[in-house]
Every structure is written in structure tokens, then in C-alpha cells.
Chains A and B, each alone.
Chain A
Amino acid sequence: MIRTAAILFRKDLLVEVRTLQSLTAMVLFSVMAFVLFHFGLDRDTISGSLAAGVLWVTLLLATVLAVTRLFVAEREQGGFETLLLAPIDRTAVFVGKAASLFTFLVAVEIVALPAFDILLLQGTILDGMPQLLAVVLLADVGLAAVGALVAALGAETDARELVVPLLLMPLLVPVVIAAAKASAPLLSEPAASAHLGRWLLMLTFYDLAFVLVSLGVFDYLLED
């Protein structure tokens, strides 16, 4: 199962590297969102819980973009039939897709976090650093798992663009809560880390719960 997942994961990465569609969209969206927030909030710099909120809501919306497109290659080039005819475990598809989504998120964050730092923080992001990285990575796992599940749920409907965001946003509220609460002190000046353990624990718990749920139900999706 792992090998199949790895193959699917590599295929997705290769497709993305060649076309760069999703990644460019996500990066541009994030940077544009930061600019909009500058004007919308009428602030040059933000910190603390305001900064955490801007960062995480932006990342959440960028995830929505990626999720809507997660199965698009399969749909357009008839890859679905090939996938379904092959005697592979559906869970391999889940692991592969979730891994791709996770990688996309990390790639986007490599650009978006420095952009956020330059545009809206005052270059202070490194103060919160190794802890902020832990928060981001744990949150990404949750975003990737739930994102892959919702992508599959929406894969066969025509109302995909409506269903995916409306499904994703409530489901990801706990991630936003935990990540924002954890990041807020890390993004203040001076960077502190109040209660970090509690929020990291919540993120871990959420990630575990939804990875297990997805592994359990994914077999019943994409079945034909």
C-alpha cells in the first residue's frame, strides 16, 4: 500500500512541477491576500492574535484552492478509470493525495511565510521560529488529511466548487483555532509561547482523529 501511495504521490508531484498550476495559484493568492489585509485593516504591521488570524485564515483559503483542484488531473485526463480499474487499495489513493497536498502546503508556506514577514510583520518572524514551524507542520497534516477526504467527497459532483469550500471550512475550524491560538504569542513582540503544548496537543489529536476517520471511510469513495 505504501508503495502504491508513493507512486501516486510522485506522479502528482511530477504533474505539478511540470504545470505549476496549483502552486502558483496558491502562492499568488496568499500574497495578494496579505496585500488586501494591509488595506482592509489599514495597518502597516500587525502582531499577536491579529497576525495569527490573518496568517491562518489566508492559509485556510489557499488550502481550499488546492483541494478543489486535487483530483482535477484524474478527472480531465480520464485518470479516474485507470485508478479505479487498477487493483489497488483506495487508502493508497488517500495517502498519496494527502501527501501531495501536504507537500503543496509546505511549498507554498516556504514562500508565503517570508512574504508575510516582509509585508505585515516587521521581519520578526524568526523570533517565534522553531515553535512556529512545529505549529505550521502539525496544522498542515490536519489540512492535508481533511483536504484529501473532502476532495474525494466532491470529486464526483458537479457542484464541486460550491461543495468543497462549504465542507472544508467548518471541518477545519479546530485547526484554525489551535493554530491561531498557538501562533498568536509567537507572533507578538516579544515572542512568547504561552500554553503552546496545549494547542500542539489539540492539533495532534485532531490530526490523528481525522487521519483515522479518512483511512476508515476512504475505501467507500471513488468506488465504481
Chain B
Amino acid sequence: MLHLLAQTPALPLDEAGKYVAAAYGVFVTILVVYVAIIGARFARVERELNELADMAEEHDELGQREPEHVA
């Protein structure tokens, strides 16, 4: 590959900059998208946990009311 490299002249800085920016941009984009997806997952976990906490508290209230029925 070195002899290929010797034949192709280095790109001028402004053009080369675009490719380098594109490559690093791909990396950052993938990273951010991934973090966003994990963030969405955590948001869902929070919502469900909230629901379950409500469910557990309701259940406790019901449990407190039961002795009245039995008596």
C-alpha cells in the first residue's frame, strides 16, 4: 500500500479536513445515538417503577381496609 500512497498526493488541507471531520463525526454521532437509546430505556424503567410504586401503595391501603370486612 505504501507504493500506492506515494502515488496519490496528499489532499489539500481544506478537503482533507472534510474527510477527517466526517470520520470523527460518524464516531460522535454513533456514540450520542447510543447514549440516547440507553437514556430512553432508563426513562421507561423510571416510568414503570413509578407505576409499581403506586400499585404497591394502593395494595397496602387495601390490605389495611380488609380487617373491616372480616369483622
Q: Do chains A and B touch in the complex (CB under 8 A)?
A: no
Residues on B lying within 8 angstroms of A by beta carbon are none
